[in-house]
Each structure stands twice: as C-alpha cells, then as structure tokens.
Structure 1
C-alpha cells in the first residue's frame, strides 16, 4: 500500500506554510516552537486583471459550456503553476533494430514499447529540465484556500451558531453542516454578504443576482431544495438526498454504475451494518496501441474511512486528537 496524506493533529516538524496562515493558526492557539527558514518575497496582485476578466466573462455567459470554460480558464492556472517538469520525457519512434539498440544504450533510456518486428517506441528521460514553473504561486493559492475555509468555519459559522453546528463533511472548497436552527433560509439571509443566490428559483425570497458568479462567494449546492438525509462514508463517497433530488458519489466508479446499480439503501447498509460493496467498471483501454475491453472490480462503498479515527458509525476524530488515545 502506498503512503497516504492524512490530515492530523500531531506535532509538525519543518512544516511549510504561508505567513498569513501561520499568523491565523497562532491566533487559534497553535504553539510555534521553532522557525527553520523564512523566504522573503514581494506581494503584488499581478494576476488580478486576468482573473477579473475571466470572472466577468463567466458572469455574462448564457450557457453551461461557457460558464465551465471561463471557470476552467481560472482554475487551470493553479495546476500549471505546480506542474512537475521533472516528469516530462522524450518519446522517439524507432524504425529498425539498429535504432532500438542505439536507444537502449543511452544513459537516459527509460523503457520502450515494441510495435512489431522492426518498429518500437522508446521513452527517454530529458537531458535538461528547465524549472520555470512558479511553484510558489500554486502553493500560495492552496494556502489561501485553506485559510479562507478555516476563517469561514471558525470565524463565521462556528462564531454564529456555537454548539448548534457540527461539520459532517468537507472538501477543498465545500462544507456540509448539520445545523440546529428554526429556519435555515432565514439564516442564509443573514449570510447574504458572503453568498451567491443567483441559481435559486426566481420565485424564492433569497434569489438575487447581486453576487452572481463572484469570486469567493458561497453557494447552496441544492439551491433552496432542503436536504433531508446525508450519508457521508468518506472522501468522495457520499449520498445527499433532498426533497426533490438525490446525489450519489463513489470515487473511482463510473457514473452510470453509481446511478443505476448503487442504491440508497446500499449507503445505509454500508454505514450502519458495515457492509462492503464492490462494483465492476467496463471500459476500453489502449495498451501497446491495442484497444481492449477491460472489466475491473473495485470497492464502491466502504465503511472504513482510513483518514479519520472512528468513534462510532457516525462520529469521528482527526488522528492526533487529544481524545483519541482514550478510545483504543
């Protein structure tokens, strides 16, 4: 089993973070023992004109394709900024045995694929790698994302609801909360300055285009359709059932399999009865330039969330939580 990155509350050594994040963590009680290195830099909103242009175009879009296109034009910057150019390679087509022998003798030779008796494709590592990607930019984007999410959770929602709110599920840019309140949508009106209600039904009292597609604003994923059941098994594996809709996810399983073969009761059995479910993906794969029909059986629903310390079937702690050591 390969190593896995797991959020935890253990002590950190040589942890790399942005100074704004560190300042916020310390305001919440983090104890800083030692600083190993500080990188000094100059801050400028040099991408702001481009980001604002894409945001404006997205606001003006009239169809889903254009909205997704301009969103991708913004999000792709993050991926390209942290691109690992050390993984790039050179591919050469070899037309006779002499070329194959010559290629395999090179110190940069990695592997080759035989096409037929006289032809092959060789993969070679690059002799020179130009490290010209602004990794610090991508790092900062991720740090600011974490900072904004922490600020929303602790300074906005926890500060407002106190013990009446609990976190059910979270991802990079989303929260699922269990909130004890008389009227959730009346509460949303209180948070109108940080929320985008443009996709709400036009006859809904919260509908507004004031914050339409603006950066950093929260959206209600069900758009005013009250959630009546959530079964969150682990990351990318959950069921959300609202009054008029149902959303199922199972990471690594094809969408049509999730839609037609995985049932609502399967999620319940997995959670309460600790049932493990497997389903089969059918797909076409090209290997050695030969297209094959492949069937792969995968775990679709699992009661084991190996990134959290389970207290019972519902509640969990982070690894390193001060209570976890008493629950072994």
Structure 2
C-alpha cells in the first residue's frame, strides 16, 4: 500500500495498458480526472505534524519545505468527542436510549463533515420550465443544466457571495489523524504480525478497510513467532475482550478497529462501490445510487467485473415547485468497470500502484 495520499489528475496514459485499452474503446476517460490516490512520492502536500513524524520514522525523505504553519494546539473539542462516545455506550447498554445514541452519532459525524466543506462548490439550484430556462442559462453565474422530463429542468448557478467562515484546520487535522491511523494499522500492525501471503487489502476508505485473509479470523493468521507480542499489544488496536464491560466500553472508543462485517467474498469495482457476500446479511455500497436499487445484485457486480460492461440504475427523488411536490427519475451509471486509482493487471482483478 503506497503511504502518500494525494489528489492529482489521472489520464489514460497513467492507468496501465489493460484499463487504458478499455477507456479508449469506450471513451470512458476523454479528459484527465482529478482523484485521490496512494503514491510513493508527492509535491507540495500539506501534512500535520503527527503524520509527518510517522513518515520520517518510516523512511520518508523530505527534499523541500515550502511553508510552515505553527499554532498553539488545544483540545477544545475533547469534551464533545467524549460526549458522543459516552452517548453511544449508553445506547448499547439501554435500548430505550438508542435514538439518543444514533442522534449523537449523526452529530459527531456531521460536525466533522461540516468543517471540511468546500463552500466554493456550493450552488444555487432552481427547478424551472421552458419559459424560464433560457433566462437562467444566460445568467452570468450559470453552471449546468439537467433535463428532468415533462418540460422541467434543473439549473445550477454559482453563488454570487460566498462566506469562507469554517474552521478548516479542525477538519484537516481529523482527516490527517485518520490517515495516520490507517497507515499505522497496515505498516505497524498487519505487516508486523501477519505474513504478506496471508492477507490482501481489497477496499479501503478514510476509516475502514476490507481485508481478505487466509484463515477464519485474524487470530488464525498471526505469525507464530509474534503471537506473544500480539497478545500484549492487541488492546492498542482492538477492543478488549477480557470482560464484557471492557468489550462494550472499547466498542465506542475512537481509534480502535472494530469488526463490522465478515463473510466469504467481496466484489470491489471502485471506491465506495462493492458487494460483500457469504454472510447472513450481505453488504452493498454504490455511491450515488440508492442501496435498495434492484440493479445492485451480486450477479451484476460480477458481470461488470468479468465482462467490462456497465449497469444503469434509477434514482427517484422529489422537488418542490410552485407549492407542489414534483417527483423525478434520474438514469445514471451505477456500476462501471473503469478504475483509475491503481493500475489493473491483465487478469482484470489484481492491481498495482500508479507510477505518478
């Protein structure tokens, strides 16, 4: 796993022969696309001190420093984090408090998401008919037009005034700590305690990872000569299991890794687009498409993986227009074979890092 995460523009020439042939054949990547990738090098990357320290300890070479931003750190939101965790623990103990626990989870997650919102991307959205669409299209702040059917259109307009008033540094540090913890788990835990032949990363997000292992559980694949050390350090990575009280408490402790799902297989087509199967409850993810869509089946995921085809799906929604509720249906590509974050090998399944 390349340890340096960066946002860059990726073009057809970067994604390897196998995926490049597919992209050219289907005109799937006519222009370079900006995306987040893992790499072995980076230029002009903003790094928080804890993450930079970890990089240096693991062999990173810094060739140039452009700017240093120094400030006095204070744990001003420590109490907020503790209140969220405590409320979720109470929800685990008492089902009658589950709605409070779920609400606090939402508050905790939305607080982070709001701090890293790019307000420059916010738009004014208007739904109109033929008689007004030409006026809006000729507006100097016009950005995009989407037909909704029945002579209805959705018009996106840039905002005339943008207030840049969010504490971006808070969200930035939370994101950097998340990157640090995921890197620590891979390099300081998995590589240390599990032989590379016994595990493979299938999918990874900001705070989660799906791993294929050669045993029924992670305990089964620990290196024999590292078993004693693993037992001593396990509590640093996973919730304690010595007592039920410790288990329930650590379940809601930030920074510890919890087992959320396990099964026999996963079809991972893209970021936030995968199908997990082989358990009592299968897990489905497809960004931008309702998970209840009838198109999100194991068979369709496998069909895309094996044939390179794509699967369309419908999103249904509603808009208020002239004090009336209007429903609409959007057709969009749900499952696509195109993958540009890594080079896909000729077998169409395994991948290797981009050389950018």
Shift of 1:298: 1.3
Matched residue, 1:125: 160
Task: Report whether the alignment pairs 1:252 with 2:252.
Answer: no
Q: Alpha carbons of 1:285 and 1:32: their partners in 2 closer, same or farther (altered >3 Å)? A: same
Q: Alpha carbons of 1:80 and 1:243: their partners in 2 closer, same or farther (altered >3 Å)? A: closer
Query: What does 1:149-188 correspond to in 2, within 5 Å?
Result: 149-163=182-196, 164-181=198-215, 183-184=217-218
Structure 2 distance, partners of 1:55, 1:298, is: 38
Matched residue, 1:268: 302
Q: Alpha carbons of 1:8 and 1:52: their partners in 2 closer, same or farther (altered >3 Å)? A: closer
Residues 187-236 of structure 1: per-residue CA shift (max 9 Å, x gap): 799435532489xxx9xx9x9324131222211112xxx41111111111
Q: Alpha carbons of 1:317 and 1:289: their partners in 2 closer, same or farther (altered >3 Å)? A: farther
CA RMSD of aligned residues (A): 3.5
Q: Secondary structure, in 3 states, of the residue corresponding to 2:264?
A: strand
Task: Report whether the alignment pairs 1:242 with 2:275.
Answer: no
- Alignment check: 8 A CA contact 1:89 1:125 kept: no
Q: Alpha carbons of 1:290 and 1:123: their partners in 2 closer, same or farther (altered >3 Å)? A: farther
Shift of 1:33: 0.6
Q: Alpha carbons of 1:45 and 1:180: their partners in 2 closer, same or farther (altered >3 Å)? A: same
Aligned residues: 284
Shift of 1:6: 2.8
Shift of 1:140: 0.9
Query: What does 1:1-328 correspond to in 2, within 5 Å?
Result: 3-9=33-39, 11-61=41-91, 62-63=94-95, 64-84=98-118, 125-126=160-161, 131-163=164-196, 164-181=198-215, 183-184=217-218, 190=231, 191-196=234-239, 208-222=247-261, 226-257=262-293, 260-286=294-320, 291-311=325-345, 312-320=347-355
Structure 2 distance, partners of 1:184, 1:10, is: 28
More helix by share: 2
Specify which structure has the bigger relative contact order, considering alpha-carbon pairs within 8 angstroms and separated by 6 or more residues. Answer: 2
What TM-score does the superposition give when structure 1 sets the normalisation length? Answer: 0.74
Shift of 1:313: 1.8
- Consecutive unaligned residues of structure 2, counting only runs of 5 or more, are 1-30, 126-139, 143-156, 223-229
Structure 2 distance, partners of 1:317, 1:19, is: 29
Structure 1 distance, partners of 2:240, 2:306, is: 35
Larger Rg: 1
Q: Alpha carbons of 1:76 and 1:293: their partners in 2 closer, same or farther (altered >3 Å)? A: closer
Q: Alpha carbons of 1:52 and 1:221: their partners in 2 closer, same or farther (altered >3 Å)? A: same
- Alignment check: 8 A CA contact 1:276 1:301 kept: yes
Shift of 1:274: 1.9
